[in-house]
Amino acid sequence: MVELKNVQFRYKKKRVLFDNLTLTLYPGFIYGLLGKNGAGKSSLLKHVAGLLYPNSGECNVFGYKAQTRNPEMLQDIYVVPEEFALPNMSLAAYVKTNAVFYSRFNYEQLNSYLVEFELTDSANLSTLSYGQKKKFLIAIALATNARLLILDEPTNGLDIPSKSQFRKIMASALNEEKIIIISTHQVRDLENLIDNIVVLEHGHIIFNRNMAEISEKVAFEYNLAGIPDDEVLYAEELHGRKAGIVKNLSGHDSRVDLELLFNGIIKDAENIDKHFTNYSYEY
């Protein structure tokens, strides 16, 4: 479990970023962490990885205080950062150097992910494109069998086939022990993948819901004509029509349009969240 409790944090000489931020992430789920530029996503992920320390409050990962970066905890965390520099060495040498830190590292799994991502012929990291490097790191992340995977903008630089391979691989890698956190602006890339959506705005969690409850409670419409105003939670112009989020009164699960949902939350999280208040979901 990942637990942030009443986290207060500010960068030096800057205004407070996290003011009493509380968030619990449970094993067995993929979390989509969304928010506009500067909302605090990377800072939150760095707290979880023990790379930033709260000024007050706590951040615990599998029972360890994240900031102590206990080796037991670290072998259970793999971070694929948004930006990275890889050394000029062979893929095999890089894997060998890093695998030793992960007691459950599985070379067979690594090879199958590399095959899936078409990276088997690559000899040296310096000859890989940005997208290929990203896929290489994602393959390593999964092969570590770390219980917590933190992926910051993992689909950046991935071409369309690789994005669907990514979704397929991530979904199949999830098990009841794992927590996967994916932070991204490419919300469509997370469709049919994430179990929970967490939205940050100015360092505050403004929305934290499970996809099943979202698809049960709201529906996504691409033509709002004829829908009574009191059923519309959010509306926007789309190709000359009004599209939006409406109350799901049909009783059937709807297909969640993550982009519309994200736009609606950013515009008026309170109004949308009000519609979920019957649920007692933990923030």
Residue pointed to by tokens 């968030």:
23
Q: What dihedral angle (degrees, nearest 10) is formed by the CA atoms of 74, 80, 83, 86? A: 80
Smallest Cα–Cα separation from 66: which of 147, 3, 8, 142? Answer: 3
Q: Interface with ligand ATP includes 47 (CB under 6 A)?
A: no
Residue 68's φ and ψ, nearest 5 degrees, are -75, -15
Q: Interface with ligand ATP includes 37 (CB under 6 A)?
A: yes
86 secondary structure, DSSP code: -
Count of positions on this chain that bind ligand ATP (CB under 6 A): 11
| Three-state DSSP class for residue 224 | coil
Stretch that binds ligand ATP, among 9-17, 66-74, 97-105, 134-142 (CB under 6 A): 9-17
Nearer Cβ to ligand ATP, position 47 or 217? 47
Q: Interface with ligand ATP includes 71 (CB under 6 A)?
A: no
Nearer Cβ to ligand ATP, position 14 or 255? 14
Residue pointed to by tokens 């349009």:
257
Q: Interface with ligand ATP includes 35 (CB under 6 A)?
A: yes
Q: How far apart are CA 33 and CA 181, in angstroms?
A: 7
Q: Which of 9, 42, 209, 245 binds ligand ATP (CB under 6 A)?
A: 42
Nearer Cβ to ligand ATP, position 15 or 255? 15
Nearer Cβ to ligand ATP, position 38 or 87? 38
Q: Interface with ligand ATP includes 43 (CB under 6 A)?
A: yes
Residue 201: CB minimum distance to ligand ATP, A: 9
Smallest Cα–Cα separation from 153: which of 83, 221, 207? Answer: 83
Q: Interface with ligand ATP includes 16 (CB under 6 A)?
A: no
Q: Interface with ligand ATP includes 38 (CB under 6 A)?
A: yes
**Helix ranges, the chain (H):** 41-48, 71-74, 91-99, 107-116, 130-143, 160-173, 211-217, 258-274
Q: Interface with ligand ATP includes 28 (CB under 6 A)?
A: no
Smallest Cα–Cα separation from 172: which of 88, 97, 230, 116? Answer: 116
Q: Interface with ligand ATP includes 17 (CB under 6 A)?
A: yes
Q: How far apart are CA 113 and CA 139, in angstroms?
A: 5
Q: Interface with ligand ATP includes 11 (CB under 6 A)?
A: yes
Written as six digits, the tokens of 250 are 């049909």
Q: Which of 23, 32, 40, 134 binds ligand ATP (CB under 6 A)?
A: 40
Nearer Cβ to ligand ATP, position 203 or 264? 203
Q: Interface with ligand ATP includes 184 (CB under 6 A)?
A: no
What is the side-by-side order of every strand in the sheet holding 56-61?
16-25, 2-10, 56-61, 64-65
- Interacting residue ranges for ligand ATP, rule: CB under 6 A: 11, 14, 17, 35, 37-43
